Chains A and B, each alone.
Chain A
Amino acid sequence: MANTKNLSRRGVLRAAGALGLIAAMPRPVFAQAAPKRGGTLSIGVEGASTGDTLDPRAFNSPYWGVVSGTIYNTLVEVHGPANELRPGLARSWEGSDGGKRWVFDLVEGATFHDGRPVTAADVIYSLKIHNAEDSRSNSRSIAAGIASMSADSPTRLKIDLAEGNYFFPAMVSNYPLCIIPDGTKKFDGVGTGPYKISRFVPGEVIEAVRHDGYFKKDAAWADQVVILAANDPAARASAFQSGQIQIANGLDTRTAALLKSLPNKTLVSYRGSQFVGFNMLADIEPFNNPDLRMALKLAIDRQDVLLRIYGGQGRVGNDTPIPPNDPLFAAGIKQNSYDPERAAALYKKSGHTGPLRLSTSDAATVPAVDMAALFREHAARAGIQIEVVREPADGYWTNVWAKAPFHATVWGARPSADMILTTAYSTGSPGNDTHWSNKAFDTAIAAARTQANEAKRKTLYADAQSILSSDGGVIIPVFGDVIEGIANEVQGYVPGTQPCANYRCAEQVWLA
């Protein structure tokens, strides 16, 4: 971005300092940036509801990600645009036995808001509840993969997984897996995080004051933090414009150009792995035909989508959920790109005739609706007729998603590439929304997960991406960058790959 000088200068300092540090070191000190204490930080985020509770198992939106990053800590944190792993409540960790056994050493001297010290027992409890019978946690599959947990000492935790997974540390950075006191039954917001809740009105606001015993010494600069429920994009933008909020998550790409001209405001963008795609159910007519699937993958002009839907801010996708900026992205495989002639030939070969009904909805975000209309035009040039059906947002996820033969989908960013590949595309996963099943793909990701050697792991994931890209049932044309608004008095903000500096903006920034 052009107009992020002030921010990115400090951001670069921070990130550069961070690169030189070992993951096990405590948080670095930046004398140059001269952060200062004081003030009230207001953050406006979407995804709050009047039905909200402080039960971490219910955290499932950007709003609750930010609350988690403000009130709580996870064992491991993900930082910056390259998804660098950093210590959270665990100061170091080590995997062995094909990624099956993990040992986490906890930070010394970390305390909960009520003064109790943090021990391995708290961590065990906090992870365990996500797999309890009544849990509807979005991290349930992570907790379910844990075979056993034990405390070697109050600050040393041993976790055995049912199956090896070298992404486990990244997975426990997922915001619902925050640490709460052992035995918590009444979820009242007591955590270890930089701020403690002083007022919680579901669906409206959370206010929090600095936790003086916070274990990270050079963090949490503001005295108070207000997290406003700003679900409506227009309300979020105007609250940002008027200065009521200093950090605004997910601003509309189409209005970003107008917001750019504001004085004392900066727009930053982060390159997340969330995407809008089109699913073709690979197990039923007509999309059980791989030629038809490929014909459609070649019938969408990705550059045009990038330009028109995302204002040029994003990255072209290759029909796999791994964006080009991900370390695991397979750069060597063939890129699916717009080729009306080949698409027409493959379409003819598939033997399909007549219009294809593409279901889309605001539920799958606004770009999904616009993108479907654009796709129709692109495909028409290859002689493929797409009939766009706009479904009501109400009930879309129950009635249309993963059910209509051809429909729009949206996936949020996951803490690791392995998670999204497994959740959305492996055989038998409840989240497999294209019903696609491929033995070679399943084998490749299962082997990759337990492969200790990083280079070999990368090769295996490249194989998996190659199979998915050429045979899979999903079309992922573009990964749109996400635009966030930052007021100029907010300093030290480093965009990550998830909203609000990977949800931890409250402790990261200070007010000038």
Chain B
Amino acid sequence: MLASATHRPAPIRDFVVSRVVSGLVSLVLITALVFVGTALLPGDTAGALLGQNATPAALEALRRDLGLDQPLVQRYLVWLAGALRGDFGTSLASGRAVSEVLLPRLANSLLLAGAGAVFLLPIAIGGGILAAIWQGSWFDRLIGFTSMLFLAMPAFLVGYILIYVFAVRLGWFPSMSVAPFAGGTRAWAQILTLPVISLVIIGQAHTMKLTRTAILSVLASDYVLMAEIKGISRRRIILRHALPNALSPILSISILTIAYLIVDVVVIEIVFSYPGLGKLMVDSVAYRDLTVVQACGLLFALVFITMNFLADLLAMLVNPRQRVPARGAAA
């Protein structure tokens, strides 16, 4: 980095700057990929909107209205210029501003993902820690078994099983997550329950496994062996010595879990017809609503990149060894 040549070394600042720059480059590349990908699909917005009622004249008129007769590169550059100013254009399908379509859906998705994280993280991390403490016990083996089971099971299957049992058979919860008349807190709790349980079931598996592994790898280090030789109880070793040192990987795991959660949310939204960003994106692909797909893609990418960045940054902050410049490195 240029900065390090003239200023005294500041690894965190360098890290932040380089990651922000590379993140922005990634985002632009992703929008280009989404743009090209949507353009490569057979059919276009005009055809998808008109369907069987399409006549050549109507198609041509609609394409002209939507600006689809312009070359792809030009359309992309116009979009990019707008996006840089914070203007994401208007939805091709409805003519409403993209932000107006997007924001309520984003709020719904964040609510779902947030509720999912609130339950998922304590359960998964707690379970992982317990499995490490009781390594080899029936609890550890049970956790290992269920983790493998749910890792192997596709997310939508979990959703459908929950719908079958709790909505269709028992009738405790609605199968479609749409807020009814005068949807207060109670109504929201009702419609969120099954999707959140699905998210927890799907997401806990690898988070739990990663937490368990992180703790166990710390337990294999010399100072733990030393503590054991000194006769300190295993519980104390884990809570006092292993856990603080495993905090950095666990924090990274938590944040990556949230990033994966965003991916699972897309599938779960479809299964439960939950009006979130994921469902919006899938519906918009069907209608070739390019501007909405673009904005959704950008948002998802932004969340993913930000989460990854935060995970690495936090790992640096909690680990003193990564905060100071490496000594003896080539100058």
Q: Do A and B truly interact? A: yes
Residues of chain A at the chain B interface (Cβ within 8 Å): 40, 44, 49-53, 60, 134, 136, 138, 201-205, 207, 224, 226, 228-230, 232, 234-235, 238-239, 241-245, 392, 394-399, 401, 410-411, 430-431
Cβ contact within 8 Å between A138 and B53: yes
Centre residue among B52, B59, B95, B104 by max chain A CB count within 10 A = B52
| 25 A-B pairs with C-beta separation under 8 A | A50-B94, A50-B101, A50-B284, A51-B49, A51-B93, A51-B284, A51-B287, A136-B58, A203-B283, A207-B181, A232-B273, A234-B160, A238-B164, A238-B175, A241-B167, A242-B171, A244-B167, A244-B174, A244-B175, A244-B176, A398-B47, A399-B43, A401-B52, A430-B55, A431-B55
Taking CB atoms, residues of chain A closer than 8 Å to B43 are 394-399
Number of CB contacts from chain A to chain B under 8 A: 123
Cβ contact within 8 Å between A205 and B42: no
Taking CB atoms, residues of chain A closer than 8 Å to B101 are 50, 202
A138 to B41, CA, bound (A): 26
Centre residue among A134, A235, A398 by max chain B CB count within 10 A = A398
- Taking a contact as CB atoms closer than 8 A, the residue among A53, A134, A229 that contacts B94 in the complex is A53
CB nearest neighbor in B for A135? B58
A395 to B56, CA, bound (A): 14
Cβ contact within 8 Å between B287 and A49: yes
Number of interface residues of B (CB under 8 A): 48
- B261-275 near A? 1/0 per residue, CB < 8 Å: 000000000100101
- B19-60 near A? 1/0 per residue, CB < 8 Å: 000000000000000000000011110011111111110110
Task: Evaluate whether A392 and B91 lie within 8 angstroms (CB atoms) in the complex, with A235-B273, A238-B175 already known.
Answer: no
- Taking a contact as CB atoms closer than 8 A, the residue among B167, B175, B180, B287 that contacts A226 in the complex is B180
Task: Evaluate whether A49 and B181 lie within 8 angstroms (CB atoms) in the complex, with A238-B168, A238-B175 already known.
Answer: no
Taking CB atoms, residues of chain A closer than 8 Å to B95 are 53
- B159-183 near A? 1/0 per residue, CB < 8 Å: 0100110011001001110111100
CB distance from B135 to the nearest CB of A (A): 41
Scan residues 93-124 of chain B and give those whose CB is less than 8 A from a CB of chain A: 93-95, 101, 104
CB distance from B103 to the nearest CB of A (A): 13
CB nearest neighbor in A for B176? A239
Cβ contact within 8 Å between B42 and A49: no
A44 to B163, CA, bound (A): 17
Taking CB atoms, residues of chain A closer than 8 Å to B287 are 49, 51
A188 to B158, CA, bound (A): 40
CB distance from A478 to the nearest CB of B (A): 20
A232 to B274, CA, bound (A): 12
CB distance from B325 to the nearest CB of A (A): 51
CB distance from A144 to the nearest CB of B (A): 12
A226 to B44, CA, bound (A): 32
Task: Evaluate whether A51 and B91 lie within 8 angstroms (CB atoms) in the complex, with A136-B50, A401-B52 already known.
Answer: yes
A203 to B52, CA, bound (A): 20
